[in-house]
Structure formats: structure tokens, C-alpha cells
Amino acid sequence: MDMPKVSIIGAGMVGGAAAQAIATRGLADVVLVDVLGDQTKGKGVDLAQSMAAVGVDTSVVGTDDFSQIKGSEIVVITAGKPRQPDMTREDLIDVNCKILKSVCEQVKQYAPDAIIIPVSNPLDLITAAAARYLDVDKKKILGMGGQLDCLRFAQKIKKRIKVSYKDIQTTVVGMHGKDMVPLPEYSTIKGITLPDMLSPQEIEDVVEETKNGGAEIVDLLKSGSAYYAPGESIRIMVEAILTDSHKIVCSCVFSEDDGVFLGRPVMLGKEGVHKIVTLKLNDDDDKKSFTSAIATVKELAKEII
């Protein structure tokens, strides 16, 4: 039985983690593409050999030949410069847009029908840039950021409430970065909303820790940024799309209502965005933060080259 194909452009730490997560679950054959040549091929061979350990018959190939992405159902774009200490995601706009533009030319040539998952930072701007460079149905462009923020929100909650991750559901909207908007009223523990489980001060602390979750890792690593949790976040999105599950995943997608790519809960399926879930934000601060994020993304989008 033929498996679907997922291509990951960028064989760094995030790309490698995503490839491993997708392949070991038997979701798809994986093509890992990077300009590094033999290093990429070596990583592909290593990952392919690891499939024997888990008994999964997925194929993993590392290559510098972009033509091998032909026929991909999904193309994940992780290529780009990672954030360093004292850098904001916005500092990366110019360099990563240039890299993205080159990648998109290859995608248009070899995988024009694929659903695209941009991952590089600044995520919201890179996702908007991908839509501009590719000129495809915006439902097929889904940035990975919100799902990662949801994982970080869950981890910070678990540190305070010793419950199973299986019982924690989190929702984060807005920009991927310090201006994200974690939503306690739409985050639950076994169906019980967070305000019923934590004090206002504890919620404020958890929200702030979540907002700084990526920067914390960058500061500790000294060079580079997170990759395990981003890899799993990509896998969650890929699985929802390939299985046409309509799973609700927080993703950076385009809404006609506000005209920008921004993090929101969406149902994912084989066509990409099946439906955007519209939330009623009752907290005034959350409303202001989300409205501010719309304005910020619109302004920053002017810098896309």
C-alpha cells in the first residue's frame, strides 16, 4: 500500500525532529531536503535505519535534490536562520524571507498542489510571505506556532497541577511569540476551566511563563532554539491533515474577517483549513491583545520583500 509523502525542507534540528516524529508513527514517507548535500543524505540514512527499531515500514530519504518533493501531500518548511539570544523573531524577517522565497520557487515547480506548513520565524510573517510567494488557496497555508504554544502552556500548567497531560487542553491565539494570547477561559483540565483550578495570580504566572517559553530555551541553549516540541507540533498538524480528522489545532491561518495570518483554533483536514473556530473573547485584556496582534501583523507584513 502506497503511503502519502511528506517533504520537509530544512534538515536542521527542527526538520530532523519532525521527520522522526512523522516517520516513527507511520504517518507518511518522508523526504528531508537541504542544500547541505551529504550531511542531509546521512541524516536520512540514519533516520531510515531507526525505523527498524520501531518496526515501521516508512521510507525516509535525505537529499539536496528538490525534485524529490514531487507528489508530496504536505510540504513543511523549516529552512531558515534560528533565533539566537537577544534576538526577537522579528529580527529574522529579512534573512528568512529571502530563504523562504527561494524555497517557494522549488515548491511551485515540484509540489504545486501540496499543503504548506511554514515553521521558520517570525512565524506569522513567514506564513503570510509563503502565501504571497506561492499564490495558492490560503486554506492550504498553515503556519506552525499556535500548537507549539499550546504545548508550552500545557507544560506550565502541569508544573502547578500534578495531573495527566491527557486531561489538559489548552488554547493560544494571536502571534507566535511574546505577544501571544494564551486563553485560560478556553483551557481546561478534564473539562474544568483553568480559572476554576488556579488562582488569578497563578494564572497570570502561567501565562507569562508560556509567553517566555521559547526565549527561555534559546537563552539556555546559547545557540539555536527549540526542536523537540516543534517537531511534535508539526507531527500533530500533519497527522490531522493526512487522516482528515478535523482535529482542532491552533494554527497560523488566514481569516477573511481581519485579513491577516494569525494564530487561531482551526479544524484541519485533507484540504488544509476545514473551518476556523471563532471564539468569543470575554476578557478585555485578551480582546485588546488579539486586536493589537492583528494591527502588528498588518504593519510588519509591509516589510515582506
List, for residues 3-47, the tens digit of each pLDDT value. 999 999 999 999 999 999 999 999 999 999 999 989 999 999 999
- Number of domains the chain contains: 2
Instruction: Decide: helix, strand or coil at residue 42.
Output: helix
Please give the pLDDT value at position 46.
Answer: 98
Query: Given 140, 162, 177, which residue is the final one in a domain?
Result: 140
Does one domain contain both 83 and 183? no
At how many degrees (to 10) do helices 38-54 and 13-24 cross?
A: 30
Does one domain contain both 203 and 101? no
The predicted-structure confidence for 223-277, as pLDDT tens digits, reads as follows 888 999 999 999 999 999 999 999 999 999 999 999 999 999 999 999 999 999 9
Query: Given 140, 170, 189, which residue is the final one in a domain?
Result: 140
Q: Are 143 and 176 in contact (CB under 8 A)?
A: yes
Where do we find the cell 507584513?
Answer: 301
Q: Does the pLDDT at position 96 exceed 80?
A: yes
Range of the domain at 13: 5-140
What average pLDDT does the chain have?
95
Instruction: Give me the DSSP letters along 190-228.
Output: TTEEGGGTS-HHHHHHHHHHHHTHHHHHHHHHSSS---H
Does one domain contain both 151 and 288? yes
Residues 95, 100, 103: CA angle, nearest 5 degrees: 135
Please give the pLDDT value at position 72.
Answer: 98
- Find the catalytic residue in 41, 43, 176, 274: 176
Does one domain contain both 204 and 230? yes
| 246 is annotated as an active-site residue | no
Does one domain contain both 116 and 153? no
Does one domain contain both 111 and 16? yes
The predicted-structure confidence for 35-78, as pLDDT tens digits, reads as follows 998 999 999 999 999 999 999 999 999 999 999 999 999 999 99
The predicted-structure confidence for 143-166, as pLDDT tens digits, reads as follows 999 999 999 999 999 999 999 999
Cα 117 to chain center, whole Å? 7
The predicted-structure confidence for 119-130, as pLDDT tens digits, reads as follows 999 999 999 999
Does one domain contain both 159 and 191? yes
Residue 15 to residue 231: CA distance in whole angstroms: 7
Strand duo 192-193 + 188-189: pairing: antiparallel
Does one domain contain both 245 and 198? yes
- The Cα-based distances of 212 to 19, 57, 86, 292 in angstroms read 26, 39, 13, 18
Non-local (6+) Cβ contacts of 151 within 8 A are: 170, 229, 232, 233
Please give the pLDDT value at position 191.
Answer: 96
Look up residue 147 and give its three cell numbers: 500548537
Q: What is the CATH number of the domain that holds 208?
A: 3.90.110.10
Does one domain contain both 191 and 286? yes
Model-level pTM? 0.95
Q: Are 46 and 31 in contact (CB under 8 A)?
A: no
- The Cα-based distances of 299 to 33, 69, 176 in angstroms read 32, 34, 16
User: 93: pLDDT confidence band, cut at 50, 70 and 90?
Assistant: confident
Does one domain contain both 213 and 124? no
For residues 34 and 86, the model is more confident at 34
Please give the pLDDT value at position 223.
Answer: 85
Look up residue 191 and give its three cell numbers: 473539562
Does one domain contain both 186 and 291? yes
Please give the pLDDT value at position 85.
Answer: 75
Please give the pLDDT value at position 89.
Answer: 62
Non-local (6+) Cβ contacts of 303 within 8 A are: 93, 94, 125
